[in-house]
Structure 1
Amino acid sequence: MVQGPDNKGRSSLPEGGKARRVYLHLHEDITRGSYAEGAVLPGEQKLSVQFDVSRVTIRRALDALEDEGLIRRSAGSGTTVCAAPDAPSVAADFTTLMPQVVQMGYDTTVRLLSFGYGPPPAAVAREMQQTSDAVMQRAVRLRLVEEQAFSHLTTYVPEDIARNYSEAELATEPLFILLERSGVVVQTAHQSVSATLASPDVAAHLGLSVGAPLLSLDRVVRDAQGRGVEYLSALYRPDMFRLEMTLGRVGAGEARHWEPIIQPDPAQAAE
C-alpha cells in the first residue's frame, strides 16, 4: 500500500545558499522569540548590510518567511513579525522512552506509506546480525498528532516473524503489540539519537523544506535469545517532538555528579 505525501503547509527553502543562510537565521530568531509578535524587522537595506548580501537575496529569504506565515509585508508598514503558528507536539522522557513510545501508538494515528519484503540494507543486516540475502519486512509509516505528521518511521522485521501479522494490522496496531502477539519476547533494545537533514521524500511527507533539520533515532530490539527482531529508523520534526530527561545530583565530594532519574514504567505499556 502506498499513499502520496500531503503537501499541505509545506515550506520551501529559498534558492541560493546566501538566501537560505539569511532565511534560516531569521527563521530561528522569529521562532525562538528574539523578534516578538508585532515587531518590525529591519528594512531590506539594513538586512543586506547586516548579512553582507544583496537586497535581492534578502527578498528571497523574506518571501520564504512570508509564505510560511511568519512575517507580513506591507507598503508603508515594513515587515511585521507574525505569531508562529501553533503546532501540536509530543514529548517523551528519554529514560522511560520505550513504554512511552508504545503508548504513543495509541495516542496518535498512523499512515502506512509502503509495505513489502526483500533484502535489507547492508547496515541494517549487520545490526540485526542477518546475512545480506536475508528477507525482511520493510514498512514505512507516518505518525500523526491532530492530523499533522511529526515522525517518519522505517522498520525492518525478520520475515518469519513479520508473516504473523498483516499489512492491515500494521496500519492500525503498534508494532510492539504485533511482535508480542507473534510470540516474540522482547528483552533488550539499543538506541542512538543524532541529527540529520530531511531528504526530498521525507520532507514532503513531514511538511518541511528539503534539508530541514530532523531528530534521528535508530533502535535495534532483541529477544531473550539476543536475536534482532526489529530495526527502527525514526525521523522526528524537532518542532513537534522533543526528548526530555530528569537528572539528579548523586555521590559526594569530588565524585558528585549528575545521573538520570529513572521513573517506574507505566502499569500498561503499549508502541
Structure 2
Amino acid sequence: MILTSRMNAGALRPGDAVPGEAAVCAEFGVSRITARRALNELAAMGRVVRERGKGTRVIPFDHAPAPMTASLDGLLENVGHMGRTTTVQVLDFRYLPATADVAETLELQIGATVQRAVRVRALRGAPMSYLVTVVPEDIGRRIEGQDLSQTPLLLLLEDAGVPVASATQTISATVADPEVARALSVPAGSPLIEVNRLVRDEDNRAVEMIRVLYQPELYRFEISMRRVTADAGRTWQSVAPDRLRSL
C-alpha cells in the first residue's frame, strides 16, 4: 500500500495527519468503500489511529522490519543470506503437467510432469514475498522429502548434486491479485516488485524457474558502481558490495 510505504520511508511521521477517505478517493481514484477499508486495515495493523472528529493520524510503530537489501549480481549469496534471516511457509506443493508457458520456459514438452511449490517468506514475522518455483520432475525427485520451509530451493538443488552454473532474471513491477494479496496480508491491487528467474546447470539445461513477488517496503535491490575509463570513454562498472560478499 502506498500509504504504508510513505510511513516506512518517513514521508508520514508519527503524529502526522493521514489523508482522509475523500482525499484517498481523489488521489488514487478508488471508491469510498475501498478507501475506508484501506484506512481501517492500517488501523488494524497498528500504523494509524482513527478518531471521530479528529481524522486519522500516524502512530509510532516500533515493529516494522527494516527492508532487506540485496545486490543484483549476488544471486547465490542473496539466497543464502535470505535463508538465514527469514522464515518460510509452504502453501502448496505438488507434481502436475507443465502448462504451455512453463514448458516453453523450462524447454520441456507441454504436459511433462513438473514439481511446483508455492511459498510465502516472512521477514521478522512480516510477509515479505510470494514465491512460485517450478522444476522438472527428475530434478524435483532429487530433493523429495527435503523441507522447503527451512532451506532455499536453489541450495537444496546444489546439495543434491545439481551443478547450478548460470541464471537470468528480469525485474519489473506488478500488482497483487486476490490470491497473492491474501498470502501477503495486503489489499488486492497493492504494488509489488516482480522477479522472474531461470536457472541453468553446467550443460545449459533449465533446472529451475522462479517467480517472486516482493512487498516493495520490505525488499529492495542495490547495485554498487565504480567510475572507470573504457574504450568509449568514462563509464560506470558494477562491483559486488563487500558486505554482501562476506555473508
Instruction: Please say if residues 164 and 182 of structure 1, whose CA atoms lie closer than 8 Å, have aligned partners that are also in contact.
Output: yes
- Which residue pairs with 2:59 in the alignment? 82
Instruction: Please say if residues 110 and 142 of structure 1, whose CA atoms lie closer than 8 Å, have aligned partners that are also in contact.
Output: yes
Residue 211 (structure 1) aligned with residue 189 (structure 2): yes
Identify the match of residue 121 of structure 1 among 99, 102, 127: 99
- Which residue pairs with 2:148 in the alignment? 170
Post-superposition CA distance 1:100-126 (Å, at most 9, x none): 212322332221111111122322211
Q: CA deviation at 1:58?
A: 7.0
For the structure 1 residues 112 and 81, does the alpha-carbon distance in structure 2 shift closer, same or farther, using more than 3 Å as the test? closer
For the structure 1 residues 219 and 252, does the alpha-carbon distance in structure 2 shift closer, same or farther, using more than 3 Å as the test? closer
Instruction: Please say if residues 155 and 233 of structure 1, whose CA atoms lie closer than 8 Å, have aligned partners that are also in contact.
Output: yes
Task: Name whichever of 253-262 and 146-155 sits farther off.
Answer: 253-262
Q: CA deviation at 1:54?
A: 10
Q: CA deviation at 1:144?
A: 1.9
Post-superposition CA distance 1:81-104 (Å, at most 9, x none): 323564223211112133221232
Instruction: Please say if residues 192 and 219 of structure 1, whose CA atoms lie closer than 8 Å, have aligned partners that are also in contact.
Output: yes
- Which residue pairs with 1:33 in the alignment? 10
Structure 2 distance, partners of 1:226, 1:83, is 51
Greater relative contact order: 1 or 2 (C-alpha under 8 angstroms, separation 6 or more)?
A: 1
Residue 258 (structure 1) aligned with residue 236 (structure 2): yes
Q: Structure 2: state its 5+ residue gaps.
A: none
- Which residue pairs with 1:247 in the alignment? 225
Matching of residues 92-131 of structure 1 within 5 Å: 92-131=70-109
Q: CA deviation at 1:200?
A: 1.1
Partner SS, residue 137 of structure 1: strand
> What percent of counterpart residues are identical?
38
Post-superposition CA distance 1:215-251 (Å, at most 9, x none): 1111111011110011111111111111111122122
Identify the match of residue 232 of structure 1 among 210, 213, 224: 210
Instruction: Please say if residues 77 and 245 of structure 2, whose CA atoms lie closer than 8 Å, have aligned partners that are also in contact.
Output: no
Instruction: Please say if residues 83 and 150 of structure 2, whose CA atoms lie closer than 8 Å, have aligned partners that are also in contact.
Output: no
Task: Name whichever of 27-36 and 149-158 sits farther off.
Answer: 27-36
Residue 72 (structure 1) aligned with residue 49 (structure 2): yes
Partner SS, residue 166 of structure 2: strand
Structure 1 distance, partners of 2:36, 2:243, is 51
1:141 partner amino acid: R
For the structure 1 residues 59 and 99, does the alpha-carbon distance in structure 2 shift closer, same or farther, using more than 3 Å as the test? closer
**How many residue pairs end up in the alignment?**
246
Structure with the bigger percentage of strand? 2
Structure 2 distance, partners of 1:202, 1:53, is 20
Partner SS, residue 83 of structure 2: helix
Instruction: Please say if residues 142 and 151 of structure 1, whose CA atoms lie closer than 8 Å, have aligned partners that are also in contact.
Output: yes
Between structure 1 and structure 2, the one with the greater Rg is 1
Post-superposition CA distance 1:130-173 (Å, at most 9, x none): 11121111111121222332111111111112112224433333
Partner SS, residue 125 of structure 1: helix
TM-score when normalising by structure 2: 0.82
Q: Structure 1: state its 5+ residue gaps.
A: 1-23
Task: Name whichever of 121-130 and 58-67 sits farther off.
Answer: 58-67
For the structure 1 residues 74 and 114, does the alpha-carbon distance in structure 2 shift closer, same or farther, using more than 3 Å as the test? closer
Instruction: Please say if residues 87 and 240 of structure 1, whose CA atoms lie closer than 8 Å, have aligned partners that are also in contact.
Output: no
Instruction: Please say if residues 178 and 188 of structure 2, whose CA atoms lie closer than 8 Å, have aligned partners that are also in contact.
Output: yes
Q: CA deviation at 1:38?
A: 1.2
Computed over aligned residues only, the root mean square deviation of the Cα atoms, in angstroms, reads: 3.5
